[in-house]
């Protein structure tokens, strides 16, 4: 016979208990009386995913569950329990429910420029120093020592694949920059 009683497990901080599609978590400090109280709470979870308020100790606040996806057999059977010590009761969603959540459009925004962190994106500086190096060589001639400054900077900032691609474009006269 399977042992269907909820067992505690640790995940991050606190102790977690599970029964069916429900999870109960108690944050630290977790003592033996707290584990016993949370176990009695998780045993109150019915096989249908209900929390039954009648099995808990007096002094526990209750609130009627308004989740439409659970069949309510008895108004006293469908309850979310609010306990006097900090406990989180959470329902794990079905995979079919997560597909409806993925259809929602999520807007992602980039972080605006922050002068406290000037080295976050050096793409513009990479491009500009590459172009400046080639302009300097074109005007002053190859081997001019001050032009090496721009070369050292773009070689430090730019990925090698970009440099190879741009060198190939310059050789084929199809480089986008004005040199």
Residues 101, 86, 16, 3, Cα dihedral to 10°: -110
User: Is the pTM for the entire model greater than 0.85?
Assistant: no
Q: 122-171, pLDDT tens digit by residue?
A: 888 899 999 999 999 999 988 899 999 999 999 998 999 999 999 999 99
Classify 62 as helix, strand or coil.
Answer: strand
Bridge partner residues of 80 (DSSP): 63
Nearest Cα to 162, choosing from 130, 132, 116? 130
Q: 36-81, pLDDT tens digit by residue?
A: 655 565 555 443 343 434 333 333 333 333 333 333 333 444 444 3
Q: Which comes out higher in pLDDT, residue 102 or 89? A: 102
Structural domain spans, the chain: 8-92, 123-171
Sign of the CA dihedral with 35 first, then 42, 92, and 109 last:
negative
Residue 16's pLDDT band (cuts 50, 70, 90): very low
C-alpha 49 chain-centroid distance:
27
Tell me: domain 123-171, CATH 1.10.10.140, correct? yes
Nearest Cα to 130, choosing from 103, 107, 160, 108? 160
């Amino acid at each position: 016979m399977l042992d269907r009683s909820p067992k505690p497990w640790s995940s991050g901080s606190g102790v977690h208990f599970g029964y069916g599609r429900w999870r109960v978590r108690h944050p630290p400090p977790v003592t033996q009386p707290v584990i016993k109280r949370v176990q009695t709470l998780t045993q109150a979870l019915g096989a249908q995913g209900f929390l039954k308020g009648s099995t808990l100790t007096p002094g526990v606040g209750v609130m009627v569950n308004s989740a439409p996806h659970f069949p309510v057999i008895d108004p006293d059977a469908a309850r979310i329990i609010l306990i006097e010590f900090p406990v989180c009761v959470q329902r794990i969603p079905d995979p079919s429910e997560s597909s409806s959540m993925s259809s929602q459009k999520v807007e992602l925004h980039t972080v605006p420029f922050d002068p406290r962190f000037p080295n976050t994106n050096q793409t513009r500086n990479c491009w500009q120093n590459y172009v400046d190096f080639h302009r300097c060589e074109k005007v002053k001639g190859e081997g001019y020592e001050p032009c090496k400054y721009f070369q050292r900077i773009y070689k430090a900032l730019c990925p090698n694949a970009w440099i190879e691609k741009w060198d190939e474009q310059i050789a084929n006269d199809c480089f986008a920059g004005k040199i």
